[in-house]
Structure 1
Amino acid sequence: MTRILIVNSGPYGCDSHGYRLANRMIADAGWDRVELTVRDLVRTPITPIGSDYAHAITSNQPHDASAFVESEALISELERHDVLFIVTPMHNFTVPAALKLWLDHIIRINRSFTATPHGKVGSLKDRPTFVLVSSGGFHVGDRARQVDFLTPYLKYALASIGIENVHFIPLQGLVFGDEAVASAIGEAMQAFRAHVHEHPYQSRTAGSLG
């Protein structure tokens, strides 16, 4: 059984190019007995961090404290899955607000990371993670005309909780017509297939994915 979590943060939900592509990639990979969970961060919004949560953090309340209910559910959901797909647009050079809230809840001291004199040390198991980044223009390559803060930020944020096996797949130039969209999807699929071919973990048991 390969348990896969899709975290979808785009405004178009299941109609987005990124979400449809993630499902196509999962089907194409040939992972054995897939169990798929989809968390749509726009359709089911996450509560912003409030004073109750902040107080619970600073007063070292236990994991089952009422202020941590939503955070605990999101972290536990992530822990249950072997592979993570994050489907996100690039909004104003970085992650959209919906995805930032998800990160705010899963990056939690003494739960998903431990603070040390050398910085955060992740407490979660690493897992293959694919980040599909959609943009109307270009943020990667020779045609890029804007700074990409999303990739380094998300890479650093996920590493802080122990997820370092992260692969970014751009899906860019989407406002330039059907031909550009088809080209972007083709390039993204090619990049994904190359990775899966190089790291064929579809037949391994849960907990040992590479």
Structure 2
Amino acid sequence: MGSILVIKSSAGGAASVSNKLVDQLVARLQAERPELKVVERDLDREPVPHLSSATMAGIGRPAPETEAAKPTRALSDALVAELQEAEILVIGAPMYNFGIASTLKSWFDHVLRAGVTFQYGPNGPEGLVAAKPVIVIETRGGAYSEGPAAVLDSQEPHLRTMLGFMGLRDVDFVRVEKLAMAAQEQIAAAVERIGALRPGALAKAA
């Protein structure tokens, strides 16, 4: 059975806007594709370990060299398997200090593995993850998609780069900005955009 892989990275708890919008999106995806199971990773509740000498011993080499490194490799293998098996990938990505949450970066650190999710060919890096629609819910307190603050946005370019490196280039970004200024209006607009995701990720997944 295929799946919808859901990655949440908000540190906002019950008040998280990105988590609420992700839940609404997933409910719509399930209505469209009831045969797909939902696999969720909430990185706030169950964080993936950050990079360290210990984690690198498990994921940074062809094979773990010590017993202590084997659990890290097992986790990385499980995360990669979830990504490869998914038919749709949904990521909730709030902006923190102009970039993504460190917990989300840690998830990428565990799935971006040479020879597993990407490789270097004669023409440069090649993605090894099966093509699939990706929907990213980006929430931001300010406005960074245009204007003078756009140069401060390292969130979306970073996500595009890491996803593209694995071969995932069919990405829809739902930007929800100005939440510190006009939250309710922006959330309402985001809900409308999620409802209008066609002929985008929903159609491509059908």
Aligned counterpart for 2:74 among listed residues 69, 76, 88:
69
Paired position in structure 1 for 2:84: 79
Aligned residues: 199
Question: What are the superposed Cα offsets for residues 51-88 of structure 1, whole Å, 9 maximum, x if unpaired?
Answer: 355345665228xx824111111111112211111101
Match of 1:39 among 32, 38, 41: 41
Cross-structure match for 1:204: none
- Contact 2:51-2:109 at 8 Å conserved across structures: yes
Determine if the alignment matches structure 1 residue 49 to structure 2 residue 54: no
Q: CA RMSD in A?
A: 2.5
Shift of 1:105: 0.5
Match of residue 27 from structure 1: 27
State which drifts further: 110-119 or 158-167: 110-119
The 2-side partners of 1:156 and 1:134 are apart by 19
Structure 1 unaligned spans of 5+: 202-207
Q: Following superposition, which runs of at least 4 residues in structure 1 exceed 6 angstroms of deviation? A: none
Match of 1:124 among 101, 120, 129: 129
Q: TM-score, normalised by structure 1?
A: 0.82
Matching residue of 2:189? 187
Instruction: Write the distance in 1 (CA, Å) between the matches of 2:134 and 2:96.
Output: 20
The change in CA–CA distance for 1:2 and 1:17 in structure 2 (over 3 A counts) is farther
**Residues 153-164 of structure 1 mapped to structure 2, 5 A cutoff:** 153-164=158-169
How many Å separate the matches in 1 of 2:136 and 2:146? 17
CA deviation after TM superposition for structure 1 residue 160, in Å? 0.7
* 2-structure distance, mates of 1:184, 1:7: 22
Identity %: 28
Larger % of helix: which? 2
Determine helix, strand or coil for the equivalent of 1:38: strand
1:27-70 Cα deviation digits (max 9, x unpaired): 335312142222111110111233355345665228xx824111
Q: Structure 2, unaligned stretches of length 5 or more? A: none
